[in-house]
Protein backbone atom coordinates (compact mmCIF):
# COMPACT_ATOMS: atom_id res chain seq x y z
CA UNK A 1 0.00 0.00 0.00
CA UNK A 2 1.25 3.48 -0.74
CA UNK A 3 1.29 6.23 1.84
CA UNK A 4 -2.13 7.85 2.00
CA UNK A 5 -2.88 10.95 4.01
CA UNK A 6 -4.98 8.78 6.32
CA UNK A 7 -1.85 7.00 7.54
CA UNK A 8 -0.86 10.16 9.40
CA UNK A 9 -4.02 9.68 11.43
CA UNK A 10 -4.79 5.99 11.71
CA UNK A 11 -8.47 6.41 12.69
CA UNK A 12 -10.88 5.14 10.07
CA UNK A 13 -13.16 7.46 8.16
CA UNK A 14 -16.83 6.55 8.37
CA UNK A 15 -19.43 7.74 5.90
CA UNK A 16 -22.68 8.73 7.58
CA UNK A 17 -25.16 9.92 4.99
CA UNK A 18 -23.09 12.45 3.03
CA UNK A 19 -20.85 13.31 5.99
CA UNK A 20 -17.29 12.06 6.43
CA UNK A 21 -16.63 11.33 10.11
CA UNK A 22 -13.53 10.41 12.13
CA UNK A 23 -13.91 9.56 15.81
CA UNK A 24 -17.37 11.17 15.80
CA UNK A 25 -16.10 14.47 14.33
CA UNK A 26 -17.19 15.67 10.89
CA UNK A 27 -14.10 16.13 8.70
CA UNK A 28 -15.91 16.82 5.45
CA UNK A 29 -18.64 15.64 3.16
CA UNK A 30 -19.28 14.18 -0.26
CA UNK A 31 -21.66 15.83 -2.69
CA UNK A 32 -22.10 13.90 -5.92
CA UNK A 33 -18.58 13.41 -7.25
CA UNK A 34 -17.12 16.29 -5.21
CA UNK A 35 -15.24 16.05 -1.89
CA UNK A 36 -15.32 18.96 0.57
CA UNK A 37 -13.36 19.49 3.79
CA UNK A 38 -14.98 20.46 7.11
CA UNK A 39 -14.69 24.16 6.22
CA UNK A 40 -16.60 23.77 2.97
CA UNK A 41 -13.58 24.03 0.68
CA UNK A 42 -13.76 21.79 -2.36
CA UNK A 43 -10.76 19.47 -2.25
CA UNK A 44 -11.35 17.67 -5.52
CA UNK A 45 -13.58 15.27 -7.39
CA UNK A 46 -13.70 11.89 -9.07
CA UNK A 47 -15.12 10.80 -12.40
CA UNK A 48 -14.57 8.25 -15.18
CA UNK A 49 -12.18 6.16 -13.08
CA UNK A 50 -9.89 9.04 -12.06
CA UNK A 51 -9.38 11.39 -9.08
CA UNK A 52 -8.68 15.10 -9.56
CA UNK A 53 -7.71 18.02 -7.32
CA UNK A 54 -10.09 20.98 -7.11
CA UNK A 55 -7.92 22.58 -9.82
CA UNK A 56 -8.62 19.70 -12.20
CA UNK A 57 -5.18 18.05 -11.95
CA UNK A 58 -5.42 14.27 -12.27
CA UNK A 59 -3.78 12.64 -9.24
CA UNK A 60 -4.87 8.98 -9.41
CA UNK A 61 -6.94 6.39 -11.23
CA UNK A 62 -8.45 2.96 -10.65
CA UNK A 63 -7.23 0.11 -12.83
CA UNK A 64 -8.47 -3.38 -12.04
CA UNK A 65 -8.21 -3.94 -8.29
CA UNK A 66 -5.70 -1.14 -7.68
CA UNK A 67 -5.62 2.61 -7.23
CA UNK A 68 -2.57 4.16 -8.89
CA UNK A 69 -1.29 7.66 -8.16
CA UNK A 70 0.34 9.75 -10.89
CA UNK A 71 3.73 9.10 -9.29
CA UNK A 72 3.30 5.33 -9.74
CA UNK A 73 2.35 4.27 -6.21
CA UNK A 74 -0.51 1.83 -5.81
CA UNK A 75 -2.96 0.52 -3.24
CA UNK A 76 -5.30 -2.46 -3.43
CA UNK A 77 -8.99 -1.53 -3.28
CA UNK A 78 -9.40 -3.70 -0.16
CA UNK A 79 -7.12 -1.22 1.64
CA UNK A 80 -9.41 1.63 0.58
CA UNK A 81 -12.42 -0.23 1.98
CA UNK A 82 -10.54 -0.84 5.22
CA UNK A 83 -9.84 2.87 5.76
CA UNK A 84 -13.19 4.27 4.59
CA UNK A 85 -16.27 2.41 5.85
CA UNK A 86 -20.00 2.89 5.50
CA UNK A 87 -22.01 4.35 2.70
CA UNK A 88 -22.74 2.87 -0.67
CA UNK A 89 -20.04 4.61 -2.65
CA UNK A 90 -17.58 3.35 -5.23
CA UNK A 91 -14.00 2.33 -4.55
CA UNK A 92 -12.98 5.36 -6.61
CA UNK A 93 -14.90 7.61 -4.20
CA UNK A 94 -13.20 5.91 -1.22
CA UNK A 95 -9.82 6.53 -2.82
CA UNK A 96 -10.70 10.17 -3.46
CA UNK A 97 -11.70 10.63 0.19
CA UNK A 98 -8.39 9.20 1.38
CA UNK A 99 -6.23 11.13 -1.05
CA UNK A 100 -8.03 14.44 -0.74
CA UNK A 101 -8.96 14.74 2.96
CA UNK A 102 -7.69 11.62 4.64
CA UNK A 103 -5.36 13.43 7.06
DSSP 6-73: GGGS-SPEEEETTEEEETTEEEEEEETTEEEETTS-EEEEEETTEEEETT--EEEEEETTEEEETTS-
Mean pLDDT for the stretch of residues 32-38: 96
Q: Could you give the percent of the chain with pLDDT greater than 70?
A: 88
Residue 1's pLDDT band, with cuts at 50, 70 and 90, is very low
Strand partners, 47: 50
pLDDT value of residue 87: 86
Tell me the average pLDDT of the chain: 89
CB contact at 8 A, 38 and 32: no
pTM listed for this prediction: 0.85
Segments making up each domain of the chain, as ranges: 5-101
Residue 103's pLDDT band, with cuts at 50, 70 and 90, is low
pLDDT single digits (tens) 37-56: 999 999 999 999 999 999 99
Amino acid sequence: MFLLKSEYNTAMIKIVGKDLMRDGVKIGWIEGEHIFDENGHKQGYFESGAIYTYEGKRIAHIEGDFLFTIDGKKSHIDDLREHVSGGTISDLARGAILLLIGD
